[in-house]
Amino acid sequence: MTITTPPEPAAADLVDNNQKPVGYGRMLRKEDPRFIRGLGRYVDDVQLPGMLHMAILRSPVAHARIVSIDTSAAEALPKVKAVITGETLKGLGLDWMPTLSNDVQAVLATDKVRFQGQEVAAVVAEDRYAARDALELIDVDYDILEPVWDVRKALDESAPVIRDDLEGKTDNHVFDWETGDKAETEAVFAKADVVVTQDMVYPRVHPAPMETCGAVADFDRVEGKLTLWSTSQAPHAHRTLYAIVAGLPEHKIRVISPDIGGGFGNKVPIYPGYVCAIVGSIVTGKPVKWMEDRTENLTSTGFARDYVMRGEIAATKDGRILAIRTNVLADHGAFNGVAAPVKYPAGFFGVFTGSYQLEAAYCSMTAVYTNKAPGGVAYACSFRITEAVYLVERLVNCLAYELKMDQIALRRKNFIQPDQFPYTTKTGWVYDSGNYDAAMLESMRIADYDALLAEQAEKRAQGELMGIGVSFFTEAVGAGPRKDMDILGLGMADGCDVRIHPTGKAVVRLSVQSQGQGHETTYAQIVAEELGIPPDDIDVVHGDTDNTPFGLGTYGSRSTPVSGAAAAVAARRIRDKAKLIASGMLEVSVADLEWEKGSFQVKGDPGKSVTISEIAMKAHGAGDLPPGVEGGLDASVVYNPANLTYPFGAYICVVDIDPETAVVKVRRFVAVDDCGTRINPMIVEGQVHGGLTDGIGMALMEIIEFDESGNCLNGSFMDYLIPTALEVPHWETGSTVTPSPHHPIGAKGVGESATVGSPPAVVNAVVNALEPFGVRHADMPLTPSRVWEAMQGRARPP
Ligand code: MCN
Ligand code: CUN
């Protein structure tokens, strides 16, 4: 077995935190000293005087009418301070709340429960134990209804109507959506030599962040001010929604998201628990803490995927791809709680055209309600690009299988070429920049693709099951241009304030919010690069609506494309102002000054210069500034991106399958990512490592399933398997750099790239290994039993 170790970073690439001044490079994370010593401050670490604790009673059944709720025994428990039901909330107009996609969701059920785990009542007590004990004493009489658990039957005439709360609703239909040109696509399919059709399922999975969701609500009756610590990826957007929903004045709400133990999209929605904690605090006049347990997180919070897809690909017999067509059935659970820009009911699934030049493309989709938890957009999904990339990358391999063509050769023949960018796809997306073949070739070089093919031929001759799987993805991240992207009417711009103190130290305030991505480091690096101030002298503040500019938060890998751009532009504005001040200090005209990282110097006389800290002192200090220049050295930018950024990558996965047990072992994984300019290559690699691990999890073991009664079968880590160090190989990462032409520093987002790109590579590898059995497709998760069934010619959908 050969495992290649990636080359050590070149010395020039390594950045010492103390080396001054510095900018981009492999700087160690500024947040790590606190995290690795257990000194992070998470929501559950918040302790306030007199704080009470809340627990939530959840429905044990998937679908039932609520006949009655008796809370008297619970209320009689000595330590119990309040029991809240849907009826309590109804009095406040809070029994239903809007979701992020213009649906409504029950905060606490009043009429029916619509999924197992749905919130029914909340108890506020002196401690967590008493609150939990009290839950047992609440008596709910349920009239059980037939559940809709099979998405394929949700639209049957006989299916019970889940959302009878919606006026005039007589079925379980959520929306229909289409993109591309149907007639044109039909015409291209009609003339194609080869058409390959494949049904595939992207199963329901869960982001399962290490920290579950929770909140501490503190309503100050004197000030009339609500402070809410919550596990939120979007504190500003949440605050605005609380203002709108609860009718609280927005300036009297402060949302703080302290350290977050992983989000992965799970912490984008507003959950009933947050609202109940707020109501609990208003009712009791005391701070109220609510933290979910693992089962609550897995069974009731934002899931991901759950797409049943039919894909069709049309090509010439020599492997020129002509068109792709797909029909999707989307399971949205009991409430449409998808968090995507409102114009995009299916998120950015529209990029299912992939990285290829097509003559036509068309997609139609139907979304339905089922008796399952709401969600849909989560788990590093890039707004459903995970599903899109899986579809197209599986289809390309099905085509390669039918044409008996090499999977890489087929891709290379069809790539969009460098001189075609900006490239408008058949579904209307404008890819900003790319050099796909370069990334593909780099992945082949690292993997030594020819040697792998030779090894596979040898192993096959001996009856061994070795598989090689390739995927190539293009993502669309950085939502987005406010002319076409908003969430509930809030434009998707994000902000950054940069303030330079008199002594030259800086504070950077961001509207985006880190959940582990290293923002405290990388935003300091962006400003350091622009201003020459050492990153250790730059503090990054985020996750507090009272202390940061408004913006829509972190998801869809949008922080770097949006707030990252804002930080660079703000720093440049400061540099422009610093130049004016420097010209006064040096008594030369602005035209005679040149910027040397960290100082302005007189052209041709480097001895005459002023540093950025000298300028900062002057900006705040005594004496006149040049005419028209105000004191201080601050800048504030709200960035409206011109376009999304389109990172891409080439992945090669090598698996071995035990022919006796059907256990899949991922032996090698090569990932070449291109996210344009890399601010901190070490952090980028960390993001990629995490995403690749996600990909192995989804491809091989993760699934949220339901039985015929609508019971969730994966409510604990005993039943919801996630990958550990044992299942993942030594990652072999590489890079190419194709800057984004419209981003001020040429950076593209990367946080979700590997989660998006890796599942098809793993599945392609497993299916490739099973080629001797005549297997063209098998659905995730490729557990030993599913692989075994595929080997017996009985591949089954989940
Ligand atoms: N970066 C860089 N150079 C680039 C691009 C990014 O150095 N060209 C750095 C950024 O500065 C940032 C990190 O990489 O520190 C990720 O940046 P970006 O791609 O902009 O993504 P976001 O910061 O917006 O993070 C969101 C993304 C999403 S949507 C999910 S889901 C996910 C992911 O990040 N959730 C995560 N990665 C995660 N990593 C951790 N540890 N925890 C999560 O919850
Ligand atoms: Cu879709 S998961 Mo990330 O966008 O927070």
Q: Please tell me the distance between residue 62's alpha carbon and the centre of ligand 1 in angstroms.
A: 35
Report the C-alpha gap between 332 and 310 in whole angstroms. Answer: 18
- pLDDT given at position 373: 98
Q: Which residues line ligand 1 (CB under 6 A)?
A: 262-265, 380, 515-519, 522, 554-560, 675-680, 683-684, 687, 690, 747-752
User: How many Å from the N-terminal Cα to the C-terminal Cα in the chain?
Assistant: 34
pLDDT at 247 over 90: no
pLDDT at 13 over 50: no
Q: Which residues line ligand 2 (CB under 6 A)?
A: 233, 263-265, 268, 377-381, 555-556, 752
- pLDDT given at position 798: 59
Query: Which atom of ligand 1 is closest in space to residue 680's alpha carbon?
Result: 7
Q: Which helix (H) or strand (E) holds 141?
A: strand 139-144
Report the C-alpha gap between 514 and 498 in whole angstroms. Answer: 18
pTM of the full predicted structure? 0.96
Ligand 1 probe mutation, 673, 675, 677, 687, most atoms within 8 A of CB: 687
pLDDT in tens, 587-637: 999 999 999 989 999 999 989 999 999 999 999 999 999 999 999 999 999
pLDDT at 2 over 60: no
Q: Residue 292 has which token pair?
A: 């979910």
pLDDT in tens, 451-502: 999 999 999 999 999 999 999 999 999 999 999 999 999 999 999 999 999 9
Q: In sequence order, what DSSP letters do the residues of 76-95 get, joined into one string?
A: HSTTEEEEEEHHHHHHHT-S
Ligand found nearest the CA of 558: 1
Average pLDDT, the chain: 96
* CB burial of residue 558 (10 Å; 0-12, 13-18, 19+): buried
Report the C-alpha gap between 201 and 499 in whole angstroms. Answer: 50
pLDDT in tens, 716-747: 999 999 999 999 999 999 999 999 999 999 99
- The mean pLDDT value for 693-710 works out to 98
pLDDT at 10 over 90: no
Helices (H), 3-127: 32-36, 72-76, 86-92
Ligand found nearest the CA of 378: 2
Asked if 552 and 472 count as a contact pair (C-beta separation under 8 A), the reply is no
- The mean pLDDT value for 517-542 works out to 97
Q: What percent of the chain has pLDDT over 70?
A: 97
- The mean pLDDT value for 237-262 works out to 95
Ligand 2 probe mutation, 351, 377, 514, most atoms within 8 A of CB: 377
